[in-house]
Amino acid sequence: MVDVSAYERRPPAPSANPHQIGLFGAAFRATCPAQYGPLAAVVGLAVTRRSTVGRGSTVYRVATGGPSFGDIFASFGDSFDPFTSAPTPTPTPPQYVADSCLRSAAAALVADTRSIQRSLGEALNGSTIRTAPAGDRSIRASVAVASGRVAHLRAHLEELSAELAAQFDHHDWKLTTLTIVASDPSTSAPNTRPKKADLVAALAGAVAEHLKSYDVAGLCDRLGLPPHPDPDADPFRSKRVYVSIRLQPADVDLVVTAVRRFLEDFDDPDLAALLERYRPEGDRGTVKNLIFGSTRKPDLIITDALSNDLALVNVDEALLYDGGIPDEGLSWRALVTFVLPSEADTDLTAAGRRLHARLRQSLGSDAEHHLFHVYAQRYGTFGFNQPALVPQVWLHYDPKASWQRGGVPLLTRQRMDFLLLLPGRRRVVLEVDGKHHYADAEGRASPTRYAEMVRADRELRLAGYEVYRFGGAELVDREAASRVLEPFFALLVR
C-alpha cells in the first residue's frame, strides 16, 4: 500500500464546487471500490466536511505517503460519505463573484457584433449588482444603472438575462430573475430638474425600445428633430446613437417638445416621469386667472388681494376664467361650459358657436382671423375636448395708460395673441407678426422693435412658455393659412 505521508488543511479555491467533488467521488468509487490507496499516488482528491462549509470549510489534499484514505475517511465518522454527500450551499454567491459575472457579461455584450447587444453592454457601464436567494444555488439579481438607461435595459431584459445567467452558470449558480432599477434615486426626486443631456438620453433610449430601425428616421422627422449631419446615415447600426445625434443641435425646448410628442403615441413610464420632473426655470405653477377675449382694455378690480381674486367691471368687453386648469389642460368644452353654463347645459354646440363668435370680435388682423378659423375647425373634426385656443390673453397688466406714465410704458408686452393650455402644464403662445413687429411708423425696418420682440420671447421662454411665431405673409388667406397651420396643429395638438 502506498503511504500517505502528509495532508494539509487549506481554504477552498473560489471556483471550487462541492457537487463536482461528490460526482468525482462517485466515479472514483465505481472504478476503484477497494483500492483507494494506490490511486492516491496519482491524483489529489479534495473532500469537504459537511458540517463546516463556507469560508471555514476543511479541505484535505491527499499526498503520497502516510495514512490511507480509509484512515482519513474514518476520522470523519460513520455518518459521512464523501462519495454521495454534498455540503449545504451558501444562500448567495460572494459579492466578488456577482461583480465578476456582471463585468464579464458587460464585456461579452460590448464585444458582440450585434448593435442591441453592444448597446446593452455599454449601458451596463458603472452599474452594480445585488443578489438574493431563490432556492438551492438559485438566485435573483438586481442590477442598478443610471436612470436614463433603465428603459433601454428593461426593453431587452431577455437578452441581458441570458448573458448574465451564462456568467453565473460558470460559477454553478442559477439566475432565475433579473430586475433593472435606477441607481440614482436622488436625481429622480420631483424637485430635481433634469438637464438636456438627460432628456436626450432618455428619448433616444425610448425610441430604440419602442420602434424598429426602419421606422426611426420617419419618427424623428415627425417629432421635428433636426436632420442628421450625414445624409446617408441610417439607424440600423444603432437606433440610440442615430436619435442622439439628431437631437444634439436642438435646444432644450425642442427636445422637451419632442419628448411630449413621443409620449402622445407611446407609453413609456420612465420617460414620462423624467418629463414630469422637467419644469422650466421660472414656471409659476397653477393658472389662477385667465383674462382674455378683450375688445378694450379690461377694467379690473381686486376683490381679495391675499388670494389674488379679481373681478371684471367691463364684462361686455373682456372675459375672465378662474375655474382652474386640470392636468389635461383647458379644453374648449370646459371653456364654453364656464363662460356660458346655462346655454351649454341646453345645447353645447350652440353655446360653442356663440362663444366662438364672441371671441372673433377680439381679433385684429386678417391673419389672426385665418389662424383662429383654421384651429376652430378642429372642434368640429375632433370634438369639444380639444384644447381651447384662447385669443387676446393678458399676461401683464398695467391699470394706467402709457400717456399716464409720461409716455414710457412700464410693460412693453401685455397681451398674447393666442394661448393654448395643454396637458402636462404646457403653456403655448402663438403670435401673428404684422409689419409693426419689425418696422417703425413709416414702414422702415426697425432693429429696436425687433430687439424688443425677441427679448419678450426670451422672457416668456424663461417663464415656462413655448412660443411660436407666424408671419402675416404666411396667412394671407384661409387657403394659405390651412396649408401652413393644419400640419402644424396636427403635430402640436394630438
First to last CA, the chain: 89
Asked whether the predicted pLDDT for residue 42 surpasses 70, the reply is no
Q: Look at 276 and 265; give whichever has higher pLDDT.
A: 265
pLDDT at 55: 38
Same domain? For 434 and 476 the reply is yes
Same domain? For 247 and 119 the reply is no
Give 69-96 pLDDT, tens digit per residue: 455 445 444 444 444 444 455 578 889 8
Asked whether the predicted pLDDT for residue 414 surpasses 80, the reply is no
* Residue at 85 is within a domain: no
Q: What angle do CA 472, 477, 481 make, to 5 degrees?
A: 70
Q: What average pLDDT does range 174-202 have in this prediction?
A: 72
Asked whether the predicted pLDDT for residue 9 surpasses 80, the reply is no
For residue 171, give the DSSP letter.
T
Q: Which residues touch 205 (CB under 8 Å, ≥6 apart)?
A: 148, 149, 151, 152, 240
Q: What average pLDDT does range 250-263 have in this prediction?
A: 87
The model scores a pTM over 0.85: no
Same domain? For 372 and 475 the reply is yes
Q: Which residues of 99-115 are buried (b: 16+ CB within 10 A; e: fewer)?
A: ebbbebbbeebeebeeb
* Residue at 282 is within a domain: no
* Residue at 81 is within a domain: no
Place of cell 394659405: 480
* Residue at 46 is within a domain: yes
Strand ordering across the sheet containing 128-133: 128-133, 138-145, 174-182
Contact 321, 338 (CB under 8 A): yes
With H, G, I as helix, E, B as strand and everything else as coil, classify residue 317: coil
Find, among 239, 489, 307, the residue nearest to 389 by Cα.
489
CA 491/CA 222 separation, integer angstroms: 8
- How sure is the predictor about 454, in pLDDT bands with cuts at 50, 70 and 90? confident
Give 477-486 pLDDT, tens digit per residue: 999 999 999 9
Find, among 319, 297, 460, 458, the residue nearest to 388 by Cα.
319
Same domain? For 43 and 119 the reply is no
Q: Which three cell numbers stand for residue 61?
A: 489534499
Structurally, the chain folds into a number of domains equal to 4
Which of the listed residues 160, 186, 212 is the one where a domain comes to its end? Answer: 186
Find, among 95, 89, 101, 181, the residue nearest to 138 by Cα.
89
Chain-centre distance for alpha carbon 23: 50
Find, among 254, 252, 202, the residue nearest to 226 by Cα.
254
Q: Which three cell numbers stand for residue 192?
A: 430635481
Same domain? For 433 and 330 the reply is yes
- How sure is the predictor about 56, in pLDDT bands with cuts at 50, 70 and 90? very low
- How sure is the predictor about 362, in pLDDT bands with cuts at 50, 70 and 90? very high
Q: What average pLDDT does range 259-287 have in this prediction?
A: 73
Domain that holds residue 329: 290-492
CATH classification at residue 176: 3.30.300
Q: Look at 146 and 124; give whichever has higher pLDDT.
A: 124
CA 132/CA 116 separation, integer angstroms: 28
CA 286/CA 67 separation, integer angstroms: 87
Same domain? For 50 and 136 the reply is no
CA 422/CA 90 separation, integer angstroms: 56
How far CA 458 is from CA of 143, 282, 429, in Å, comes to: 42, 12, 12
* Residue at 109 is within a domain: yes
Q: Which three cell numbers stand for residue 397?
A: 397688466
Contact 99, 129 (CB under 8 A): yes
What's phi and psi for 323, nearest 5 deg?
-90, 5
Q: Look at 379 and 284; give whichever has higher pLDDT.
A: 379
* Residue at 346 is within a domain: yes
Torsion 25-28-32-33 (CA) sign: positive
Neighbours of 207 (CB within 10 A): 28
Q: Look at 231 and 35; give whichever has higher pLDDT.
A: 231
pLDDT at 377: 94
- DSSP-assigned letters across all residues of 252-272: HHHHHHHHHHHHHHS--HHHH
With H, G, I as helix, E, B as strand and everything else as coil, classify residue 155: helix
- How sure is the predictor about 313, in pLDDT bands with cuts at 50, 70 and 90? confident
Q: pLDDT above 90 covers what percent of the chain?
A: 29
With H, G, I as helix, E, B as strand and everything else as coil, classify residue 83: coil
* Residue at 2 is within a domain: no
Contact 114, 189 (CB under 8 A): no
Same domain? For 369 and 440 the reply is yes
pLDDT at 101: 93
Neighbours of 332 (CB within 10 A): 24
* Residue at 44 is within a domain: yes
- How sure is the predictor about 356, in pLDDT bands with cuts at 50, 70 and 90? very high
CA 68/CA 3 separation, integer angstroms: 6
Same domain? For 113 and 69 the reply is no
Same domain? For 342 and 488 the reply is yes
With H, G, I as helix, E, B as strand and everything else as coil, classify residue 421: strand
